[in-house]
Copies of this chain bind each other. A is one copy, B any other.
Amino acid sequence: MNMKNRAILFANGQVTEREIAISRKTAFDMVVAADGGIVHAERFGFVPDAVVGDFDSLPPDSRKRFPGTRFVHQPSEERCDLEKTLIFCEKERISAITLLGVTGKRLDHTLGNLSLLIRYDRRFSLRILTPEAEVFIVRDSIKLDGIPGQGISLLPMEEAEEVSTSGLKYPLSCETLAFGQREGTSNEFSDSCCSISISGGLLFVFRLYPEN
């Protein structure tokens, strides 16, 4: 049995108390940081087991402050630090990752990260925590708990075919969503749970935190 299969991954984007509070309720075996993500880890009292990247965003005295941390230097310019860290996680046989700091600073980086995650989401169980929502990449179906009135948005970052839902205020029945054509933003739970299914493609589902 692999004893280190659940990781929390700090990327270099925005991290707020909100995601940290959720992370603290999450069981995990390992903390990893993508380069400057180590700053978020330290700020919120997490000690990374490993830091991966080209280290151009690493504070200079990081090695001293984290003597027990593995610093995995990957200078290649071909992949970004987040991708290097995901590849590291795969080698470490991590199977489930809670991602923090993937979004929020530069929009081009945010979009690049979301595009990247589509290439890796089949290798891990991914859960993306952003300052306002928990985000899931859905390829077949998902069931989510919620509170009636709680916000949920369906973003087809590629095409999502035959989207059907139950438990949402604005239901969808076998409808195709596609970026640039039709989205499913600003929906909400009408029940205490919802289910969303698609027949092809993929969908990003944003479950807004209840207070949003």
A1 located at the interface, meaning its Cβ lies under 8 Å from any Cβ of chain B in the complex:
no
Within 8 A of B (CB), among A98-148: 103-104, 106-112, 115-116, 118-119, 130, 132-133, 135
- Residue from B116, B179, B206 within 8 A of A108 (CB atoms): B206
Given A130-B107, A133-B107, A206-B107; A112-B80 close (CB under 8 Å) = no
Given A80-B185, A158-B179; A107-B110 close (CB under 8 Å) = yes
On chain A, the number of residues with a Cβ less than 8 Å from chain B's Cβ atoms is: 33
A115–B180 touching, CB < 8 Å = yes
CB contacts (< 8 Å) of A115 on chain B: these are 155, 179-181, 183
CB distance from A122 to the nearest CB of B (A): 11
CB contacts (< 8 Å) of A111 on chain B: these are 155, 157, 179, 183, 185, 204
**CA–CA, A212 and B109, complex, Å:** 13
A153 located at the interface, meaning its Cβ lies under 8 Å from any Cβ of chain B in the complex:
yes
A186 located at the interface, meaning its Cβ lies under 8 Å from any Cβ of chain B in the complex:
yes
Q: How many monomers of this protein are in the complex?
A: 2
What 1/0 mask marks residues of chain A from 77 to 105 whose CB sits below 8 Å from any chain B CB? 00010000000000000000000000110
A109–B179 touching, CB < 8 Å = no
CB distance from A35 to the nearest CB of B (A): 13
**CA–CA, A50 and B169, complex, Å:** 31
CB contacts (< 8 Å) of A202 on chain B: these are 180
A109–B185 touching, CB < 8 Å = yes
CB contacts (< 8 Å) of A157 on chain B: these are 111, 179-180
**CA–CA, A184 and B199, complex, Å:** 29
User: Can you list 13 A-B pairs, Cβ within 8 angstroms, ordered by A?
Assistant: A107-B132, A108-B132, A108-B153, A108-B186, A108-B208, A109-B153, A111-B155, A111-B157, A115-B155, A115-B181, A118-B181, A158-B180, A180-B202
Extra 4 A-B pairs, beta carbons < 8 Å, given A112-B185, A115-B181: A80-B185, A80-B186, A111-B155, A112-B153
